[in-house]
Amino acid sequence: MKIIAIGGQIGSGKTTLAEMLCDINASQTLHLETSAVVVELAEHFNALLTGFDFQAPRAQLVSNTNDALIAFMAYLQPMTFQELDLRDVQLDQAEMIAEPEWYAKLFAYYDRVAENPALINTPISSRNKDDYRPLLQWIGGFFLHRIDPLLWYKELMRRIHEFGDDITLVALTAVRTPAEADYIKSQGGVVCIIERDLPDADRSDVTERHVSEIVPDIRVINNRGLPELQALAQNLYGDILAANTISEYRGSDYR
């Protein structure tokens, strides 16, 4: 089984490339996303918000959230290799002042729910994912910060090992930090960064700020259209299975 982890800035084409790789031989490939793990947890978290007054003062919201996080530990615990403590998950007033970036997305989501209470009872899907982006970004970053920076990738590796030998290629998205990249390499995988010229891309989010620090095995320059990226993916797929990848693949080479 070959493993490729794909990273890159928002909008660079990570998921598109992973899906193209896996569509080449769908019966023997697998696409797993760290975001899928986060979505599962987000839906559990939403269920614990029933009855919240999202227009309450911040101190009350913090207290209510901490109560909910006690129950939320039951969903996190199976993904960890340690015994969780309340201090691992609960909001911390001192940290909120010193490092507000770990909390801003949570309260941005609460503002959205105050305007649209149906959000906490609606399943998260590809169609409405943007409505939940602040919550997903908060969960995706906060628990890595508090528990284990490799938490989501360790969970994906656990799931990979549950599949049989019929799977020849697993594409993982999205690797965001050098520590995650090093972990994937330690598990025998290769790390790919896909780059696309996006002058208006938001690179300020705490979960995205370390992508540029990753040293990849492979760079994919997504500088043409979907047909060229598809042809590139076909070539990359064969090279991965043959353990014969090169350091850079450019969409413009497949015109």
| Closest to 41 in 3D by CA, of 75, 85, 67 | 75
Query: Which stretches of the chain are DSSP H helices?
Result: 14-23, 34-47, 58-76, 86-89, 93-98, 104-115, 133-146, 151-160, 178-186, 226-241
Give CA angle at 129 (123, 132), nearest 5°: 80
Taking only the tens place, the pLDDT of each residue in 10-64 is 889 999 999 999 999 999 999 999 999 999 999 999 999 999 999 999 999 999 9
* Encoded tokens for 237: 């797929």
Contact 174, 33 (CB under 8 A): yes
* Encoded tokens for 156: 């994906």
Count CA within 13 A, CB hemisphere, residue 248: 7
Taking only the tens place, the pLDDT of each residue in 161-180 is 888 788 999 999 989 999 99
Taking only the tens place, the pLDDT of each residue in 52-96 is 999 999 999 999 999 999 999 999 999 998 899 999 999 999 999
DSSP type of residue 170: E
* Encoded tokens for 115: 């305007």
Q: Model-level pTM? A: 0.86
- What CATH class does 2-25+168-254 carry? alpha beta
In this prediction, residue 102 has a pLDDT band, given cuts at 50, 70 and 90, of: very high
- Torsion region of 25: left, alpha or beta (phi above 0 gives left; psi -120 to 50 gives alpha): beta
Could you give the CA distance from residue 253 to residue 117 in angstroms, rounded to a whole number?
49
